[in-house]
Amino acid sequence: MNQWIDACAPDDIDEEDLIAWEHAGRKYAIYNTEKGFFASDLMCTHEEQSLEDGLVIDCVIECPLHGGRFDVCTGKALSAPVLVDLKTYPVKVESGRVFVQVEG
Amino acid sequence: MPDYVPTNAASSGVRLDKKTLKSIATRTDRPGLIWLAQWTLGLVATGTLVWAALGTVWVWPAMLLHGTLLTVPAYAASHETAHGTAFRSRWLNEAVLWVSSFIFIEEPLHRRYSHTNHHTHTWHVGEDSQMPYNIPLRFAEWFAATTGIIPLIYHVKVLYVLATRNFSDMILKFTPEPELPKMTRNARIMIALYVLIAVLPLAGIWWPVWFIILPRVLGTPVMILLVLIQHAELQENSPSILESTRSFTTNRVMAFLYMNMNNHVEHHLYPQVPFHALPKLAEAVKDQVPEPDHGFVRTCAELGLVVLRRSLGRSTKAPTIRQAPRMITDGGPIHSIAQKTM
């Protein structure tokens, strides 16, 4: 069953940036973009590389190792070398906190 | 989980706080556009020199100058845009990737994927698809590469392999399967364009010979010298970029032509940093990385001397450039360490 988990405060993430967040042994990326907050798996789908040091440009996260790009809103893989979409998770901001809906 | 560790800052024990890295890696179009404009103006200037020298013996030095200005930046731009870091606008990045890779004679997706592999497995024997010579490097191979013969054969071979779908094991290893048909299509388009350029003189059109083909050939040696010193004489199979890769100091002209890639250690540590910010990155990590070797000409000359001495059975200690301990011998027979992958 999916559940909403309190992940962080909105101010914990700079604009056009992301943080790494771990819950129940799983690693997530939470993004602060011009379109709002989003969440996805932390690891790139191309190779075993954390996106934590990646660049957020508009609503795109760029992997720091090879420059593969994903749309952070949908997880869609946008350009080589990434071809497999990134898994995304619903996010909401309530009572001054960012919540991520994770699979329970 | 993969059974390897990607070679980068983390595997090299180099740390940079995230805010600093983010500020350095910020992507904009402006520096890339300025560089592109300067390159274009430079080509117009040296092209004018070639035009003015046509019919005289001065056409050869003019073509050498024009060729160096054509070839080295094309190689550098192809590399930078394969990373996707030259511009913030993706379409601009991809357009320059295509044009520069065409001049460089490498199919753009092959350029990107083989280089992706090079960053994951930097200087790892049998894994790094961009090892352009056998290790240790010998004089005959150094000379043949520097003339441009070996790289030309490699580039033609790769285009043929892609166009005929006769993929090598290495290509199949580093390329996702859905991308292979695109690479074949692109290679065929590129071959058709090269053939078109080659037959233009038959129709009495000679300008591509003077302004593109011969300059591209004449400009190759400087480009290859830059490629050779990136990892030569350094440690293979090391997780640390600090041991496998070389940076060197250089003047502003060479830094411009090479898009600051003389900061090669820093580039491998943080490949997401765009070319224009590499000097800033080098400053930020200078206390964590080896001192760069001194000057392009001096580094090339010392490497040439080392490989000549190795081939003559003499000691291989270079005067100043960095070398992995196992590359320094007192002479005698050469023991092969690794086969090239290009």
| B217-247 pLDDT, tens digit each | 999 999 999 999 999 999 999 999 999 999 9
- Range with the poorest average pLDDT among A26-35, A51-60, B32-41, B272-281: A51-60
Report the amino acid identity of residue B6. Answer: P
Residues B156-185: what's their mean pLDDT?
95
Contacting B with CB below 8 Å, chain A residues are: 14, 17, 47-49, 52-55, 57, 62-67, 69, 79-81, 83
SS3 B171: helix
Pinpoint the alpha helices (H) of B105-244: 108-120, 139-147, 149-163, 169-174, 180-199, 207-208, 214-218, 220-228, 241-244
Q: Token pair for residue A87? A: 């898994």
What does the DSSP 8-state code read for residue B26?
-
- Dump pLDDT digits (tens) for B147-165: 998 999 999 999 999 999 9
The residue of B7, B19, B22, B91 whose CB has the most chain A CBs within 10 angstroms, and thus the best one to mutate to test that interface, is B22
* Number of Cβ atoms within 10 Å of the Cβ of A77: 19
Query: What CATH code is carried by the domain that includes residue A57?
Result: 2.102.10.10
Do B205 and B109 touch, CB atoms closer than 8 A?
A: no
Between A1 and B215, the more confident residue is: B215
What does the DSSP 8-state code read for residue A85?
P
B27 contacts in A (CB within 8 Å)?
A: 55, 57
- Percent of chain B past pLDDT 90, that is, above it, reads 90
The count of domains in chain A is 1
Q: Token pair for residue B168? A: 């090598």
Facing A64 at nearest CB: one of B90, B179, B272: B272
- Percent of chain B past pLDDT 70, that is, above it, reads 99
| pLDDT at residue number A38 | 96
Q: CA–CA separation, A61 vs A67, rounded Å?
A: 9
Contact across the interface for A67 and B272, Cβ inside 8 Å: yes
Residue B114 has pLDDT above 90, yes or no: yes
Facing A80 at nearest CB: one of B8, B22, B112: B112
Of the candidates A104, A42, A24, A38, the one whose C-alpha atom is nearest the C-alpha of residue A71 is A38
B2 contacts in A (CB within 8 Å)?
A: 47-48
| pLDDT at residue number B1 | 59
Residues whose CB is less than 8 angstroms from the CB of residue A51 and which lie 6 or more positions away in sequence, other chains included: A18, A29, A40, A42, A43, A44, A61, A63, A64
The DSSP bridge partners found for residue A4 are: A101
Could you tell me the pLDDT band of residue A48, with boundaries at 50, 70 and 90? Answer: confident
Facing B272 at nearest CB: one of A14, A48, A62: A62
The residue of A66, A82, A84 whose CB has the most chain B CBs within 10 angstroms, and thus the best one to mutate to test that interface, is A66
How large is the ipTM?
A: 0.76
Nearest CA in chain B to A51: B272
B116 contacts in A (CB within 8 Å)?
A: 66, 81
Q: What is the CA radius of gyration of chain A?
A: 13
Q: CA–CA separation, B309 vs B253, rounded Å?
A: 31
C-alpha torsion angle, residues B93, B162, B261, B73 (rounded to 10): -70
Contact across the interface for B25 and A79, Cβ inside 8 Å: no
Residues B187-199: what's their mean pLDDT?
97
B85 contacts in A (CB within 8 Å)?
A: 67
Residue written as token pair 């490699």: B154
Please state, rounded to an integer, the average pLDDT across all residues of chain B: 95
SS3 B183: helix
Nearest CA in chain A to B28: A57
| pLDDT at residue number B2 | 67
**Range of the structural domain that residue A70 is part of:** 2-103
Q: What is the DSSP string of B76-134?
A: HHHHHHHHT-S-SSHHHHHHHHHHHHHHHT--HHHHHHHHHHHHHTTT-TTT-TT--S-
- Dump pLDDT digits (tens) for B21-54: 888 998 899 999 999 999 999 999 999 999 999 9
Residues whose CB is less than 8 angstroms from the CB of residue B125 and which lie 6 or more positions away in sequence, other chains included: B131, B135, B236, B237, B337, B338, B339
Contact across the interface for A49 and B83, Cβ inside 8 Å: no
Facing A53 at nearest CB: one of B18, B119, B179: B18
Do A68 and A81 touch, CB atoms closer than 8 A?
A: yes
Cα of A64 to nearest chain B Cα, Å: 5
Nearest CA in chain B to A13: B19
Cα of B272 to nearest chain A Cα, Å: 5
